[in-house]
Structure 1
């Protein structure tokens, strides 16, 4: 599909489905500059068949970032699209002996060069799945969850969770995913009680979880889930969410939640994870590499390691994917690798460095490279894939009450 086709208004379903280079169409859809022909094309892009094959291709060809900004009562999400394969802007290898600020100066990502943005009161990002985004609006009167597809300008609010007794507070842990067996999207949230022990003044360590299936009318309560330590950087694989727990026992370090059975399960860590070994971690997080569960951690402030569970649920299948002796790489510090974002399709690890740059490490080449400068961002960064999956198909046309974003100049106002 060429730009001349857009200008001439000559469109067909075959043209759209056979050509995946549709960045121009996405730009038109996002900015809202739609003539009659482009409007017709946008309807073609919503075709479930096209949405499915485009998503499969987009997972390996494009990379998108969501930068989250939180200030006062507002929350904003800024979306950027770029080709990581072409972002070979600067690099260093183990032979370099310079400081961690070795990368060239690049034009930073800014609010002005974002493809588009979402803005709303008390808006928080929960998760991304198949191009759909889960948001949480922490309104004091009536907090609610919402699912949206920003490129199609669609969003729908989830039912309000029923109040519970005793009172519980949101524990800043939620997740959004898709069950491939049942073809259902689900949201899970964790809450902790507000009760305090009158003798010790210690908050209760008990936790509950609520689960919602998109298209249903209510949330379901799950008692006594695991106590989570932190949000994973890429939690979903094999139809389940995964987290690092707050347990001090290595055998209870990894917890999963199966979206089909809605059951929590403990997964075995690598065999060498003894209590003495785990105590020497600077940090540990969990993600996905080539559709396998992957643990990333820094040992004794010096060695970064990535281990992959080749056969899901089998302890003996854990295999070291690669390691980084940090003292040999440009005098890297622990904090330079402490914010992983995602493993790319080629196996490279993408993370935020201490110099506020988006950086990747290639295990094959044993080199680092800077992909983008983050500028003054001090907030969270998440990987995302744009798709044309409509909420009518994801939730069910009869059950989905769709709303449209209010559009300003490259900004969609959400829930205002």
Structure 2
């Protein structure tokens, strides 16, 4: 079991598929035509990948749970970013301590939507202090995809389960 992420590496002019499974990352290069293991997660903790991947700024992003080796009941949700160019794994801190989040990419920015109806945007990629909480109340459903900000604290959402548009 695992998740897949697909993206374009502009440095090598190659499309790559990243597979995250068994606490390892494998990359398939369309140019080379084969899989290879490129990274293990740190051994001092166990990770549980959740949700789906998103691509932004040449990296594949996903949410994962990091468990504390000293306290197996303690876990924290984090964002992993896997760069397709240098094939390095980086951590991006979340703006919220909620363990029920959805990761989105919209208009060139990372968004985090948590269970408490908060929508956060990272206005400057990779800069923790740029996380900004939006005053838009959005119901939490992992089938929602933002289509546009309408102003007046409204966002246009597509609900993939309902095949309809809603304004919140």
TM-score between both structures, scaled by the size of structure 2: 0.77
- Over 3 Å counting, the alpha-carbon distance change for 1:342 and 1:231 in structure 2 is same
Alignment equivalent of 2:101, drawn from 252, 262, 284: 284
> Secondary structure, in 3 states, of the residue corresponding to 1:316?
helix
Considering fraction of residues, name the structure with more helix: 1
Is residue 119–residue 138 contact of structure 2 (8 Å, CA) maintained in 1?
A: no
Matched, 1:267 2:92: yes
Question: CA separation of 1:357/1:314 partners in 2, compared to 1, >3 Å: closer, same or farther?
Answer: same
Q: TM-score, normalised by structure 1?
A: 0.33
Alpha-carbon distance change, 341 to 216 in structure 1, aligned in 2, over 3 angstroms: farther
The residue that corresponds to 1:357 in the other structure is: 162
C-alpha deviation, 1:345, in angstroms: 4.7
Which structure has more relative contact order (CA 8 Å, sep 6+)? It is 1
Distance (whole Å) between structure 2 residues aligned to residue 345 and residue 183 of structure 1: 30
Cα deviation for residue 357 of structure 1 reads 1.1
Relative to structure 1, the CA distance from residue 360 to residue 297 in structure 2 (aligned partners, 3 Å threshold; closer, same or farther) is: farther
Residue-by-residue CA offset, 1:230-269 (whole Å, 9 max, x unaligned): 232x61111111111112235xx11110110101100122
Aligned to 2:54, the other structure's residue is in SS state coil
Aligned length: 151
**How far apart are the structure 1 equivalents of 2:61 and 2:119?**
16
Task: Tell me, yes or no, if the aligned pair for 1:239 and 1:260 is still in contact at 8 Å.
Answer: yes
> Are residue 246 (structure 1) and residue 62 (structure 2) matched?
no
Superposition map of 1:147-158 within 5 A:
none
| 5+ long unaligned stretches in structure 2 | 67-74, 150-154
Moved over 4 A (4+): none
- Structure 1 residue 358: deviation in Å? 2.4
Question: Do the aligned residues in 2 keep the contact of 1:212 with 1:218 (CA within 8 Å)?
Answer: yes
Say which structure is richer in strand.
2
| Cα RMSD, aligned residues only | 2.3
Could you tell me which runs of 5 or more consecutive residues in structure 1 were left unpaired when the two chains were aligned: 1-170, 193-206, 327-336, 367-416
2-structure distance, mates of 1:348, 1:182: 36
Q: Tell me which structure has the larger Cα radius of gyration.
A: 1
Give how far 1:181 is off.
Answer: 3.7
